[in-house]
Chains A and B, each alone.
Chain A
Amino acid sequence: MLFRRRHSDLPLAGDATSRFLPWLVALMVFLSSMAVAGAFVIGAVIERWDRDVSGTLTVQVLPAGGDHGDAVTEERVNSAIDVMRKVPGVLAVRAFDKKRTLALLEPWLGSTEMVQDMPLPRLIDVTIDPESRIDLAEVALRLSRAVPGASLDDHRIWLSRLINLSRTMQWLAVVVVVLIGAVTSATVVYATRTGMAVHHGIIEVLHLIGAHDDYIARQFADRAFALGIAGGLMGLGLAVPALTAIGWAARRLEGGFLPSLSLPVLGYIAIGLLPLLAALLAMLTARLTVHGTLAKLP
């Protein structure tokens, strides 16, 4: 055909970069998919932990010793319930019986037969208004003075550490994605410069007959986009079964103490957009690289 609908003056399709760049982008998109999925799963877990505990407190009453230990303990539990009910902002107070306490221990200890006869601390679940501003330190002090062996266990103290750790991991995943993007960009810069060196003669002719820099840059950018989207889709094609397998394995691992490791919808959307983002990154990098190199010409 003498005339092409969308011509490219530069024969970039035959370049060596056309062969390796899609595979590199595929690998980068695959790794990014893992990191993005990890970040979103951790985010979902943090959100659930946050939601689960933001409206609850736990009071722990240590078992009393002696012949009438159980009765004393029961009395202390009732006292602690009374103290907590009087705190403004408390919505409900409910003591766990021994059976429920054992059930809570089961995921950690396995069979609870061994500890059935041991004196166990009694737990009281306190539901508070999440909007209320309860001075927990003051309540804890009041409780410990009123009820011997009673202490206020604020989930938020230890959970906040867990959440901080999870958030660090989440940021780490984001940093990994940024690093992957930087490596992809660096590779596109190298590939584009190589392409420009290979086609130096053609570029010079285009330049001398009056082509604007962007006319030349667009051709490299179009090619980088096409290779990026092809590689990105390959990477996504590899990531989907891998994530499915990891999800399946995670569901099998889930126990009473492990939260559900499911990817939220936004995570699926983000991963689905990765090939497009990789292609746009490749396109933009190629365009800027060509502009930067051509700026050295007269």
Chain B
Amino acid sequence: MRHRPRGENIIRFDSVGLRYGLGPEVLQDVTFKLPAGSFHFLTGPSGAGKSSLLRLMYLGLRPTRGRVVLFDRDIAATKRYELPALRRRIGVVFQDFRLLDHMTALDNVALPLRVRGVKESEIRRHVPELLSWVGLADHLGAKPSTLSGGQKQRVAIARAVIGRPDLLLADEPTGNVDDHIAMRLMYLFEELNKLGTTIVVATHNELLVRRFAHLPRLHIEHGMVTTLHQEPAATDDPEAE
């Protein structure tokens, strides 16, 4: 993970629009900036375009118009073969986890490292350590089909953070877990944020958002970013103040 000065923009969207095929625009004139080291909620009702916005952020889609700048790189002007290097700086927790069913928890978490060509000895050292940290030390060899929803979620989070990303995007990470685990996951994200990772958590869980009212909120509705709350709530991160 590269250490970026807090406040420098890690993502910038300028008048971004997105449509699927010939359908209507699902995102319209989306303009916002996310400073490095920030922690945002991405809120909005179901179907508002949260997942589409996240897909644009993790380079799973290209906008149909507008400008996306990620890590100071204009995506439209970036060559296709250069995009994997940018994607490796992004960790994604997918809404449906997208764990590979034929692989063990350990292999799933090791995937981003193997893609980067990290040595097996390094993988052997780091992956079990991280899985222990998320409470899955006893499930290294377990296939996803044998894990509970919460355990799968932790494997997905471990996979997203194993590469120590600059940007962590989580799509409804608390959607399938009870309140207790949801709170634990949020504390885990806060810990990662303290280590310098910029975090965006997409959720429609209003209760969760209220509990973490100090976090700024990127609100999207009808395909437009309508509100960007920066509530001056108390935070335990002195650098963010």
Q: Chain A: residues with CB nearer than 8 A to chain B?
A: 2-3, 7, 9, 11, 201-202, 204-213, 215, 295, 298
Docked complex: B97-113 residues within 8 A CB-CB of A:
98, 100, 102-104, 106-107, 111-112
Q: Which residues of B are found within 8 Å of A205, using beta-carbon distances?
A: 98, 100, 111
Q: Which residues of A are found within 8 Å of B130, using beta-carbon distances?
A: none
> Using a Cβ–Cβ cut-off of 8 Å, how many residues does chain B contribute to the interface with A?
33
Would you call B141 and A209 a contact (CB within 8 A)? no
Q: How far is the CA of A261 from the CA of B84 in the complex (A)?
A: 58
Q: Which residues of A are found within 8 Å of B84, using beta-carbon distances?
A: 210-212
A-B contact count (CB 8 A): 60
Would you call A206 and B141 a contact (CB within 8 A)? no
Interface segment among B115-123, B178-186, B200-208: the answer is B115-123
Interface segment among B41-49, B58-66, B217-225: the answer is B58-66
B77 an interface residue at 8 Å Cβ cutoff? no
20 contacts between A and B (CB under 8 A): A2-B107, A2-B141, A3-B124, A9-B103, A9-B111, A208-B60, A208-B87, A209-B111, A209-B112, A210-B84, A210-B85, A210-B86, A210-B88, A210-B112, A211-B84, A212-B81, A295-B80, A298-B60, A298-B61, A298-B83
Q: How far is the CA of A298 from the CA of B78 in the complex (A)?
A: 11
Would you call A209 and B106 a contact (CB within 8 A)? no
List the 6 shortest-distance A-B pairs measured between CB atoms, nearest first.
A210-B88, A210-B87, A211-B115, A11-B102, A210-B84, A298-B62
Would you call B114 and A7 a contact (CB within 8 A)? yes
Q: Which residues of B are found within 8 Å of A208, using beta-carbon distances?
A: 58-60, 87, 92
Would you call A9 and B98 a contact (CB within 8 A)? no
The smallest C-beta distance from B124 to any residue of chain A, in angstroms, reads: 6
Q: How far is the CA of A295 from the CA of B81 in the complex (A)?
A: 10
Would you call A209 and B87 a contact (CB within 8 A)? yes
B69 an interface residue at 8 Å Cβ cutoff? no
The smallest C-beta distance from A210 to any residue of chain B, in angstroms, reads: 4
Q: Which residues of B are found within 8 Å of A206, using beta-carbon distances?
A: 111, 115
Assuming the contacts A209-B88, A210-B84, asked whether A9 and B100 have C-beta atoms less than 8 A apart, the reply is yes
17 new A-B contacts at CB < 8 Å, known A204-B98, A208-B59: A2-B106, A3-B124, A9-B100, A11-B102, A201-B98, A208-B60, A209-B88, A209-B111, A209-B159, A210-B85, A210-B86, A210-B87, A210-B112, A210-B163, A211-B84, A212-B84, A298-B61
Q: Which residues of B are found within 8 Å of A213, using beta-carbon distances?
A: 81
The smallest C-beta distance from A195 to any residue of chain B, in angstroms, reads: 14
Q: How far is the CA of A262 from the CA of B68 in the complex (A)?
A: 69
The smallest C-beta distance from B34 to any residue of chain A, in angstroms, reads: 19
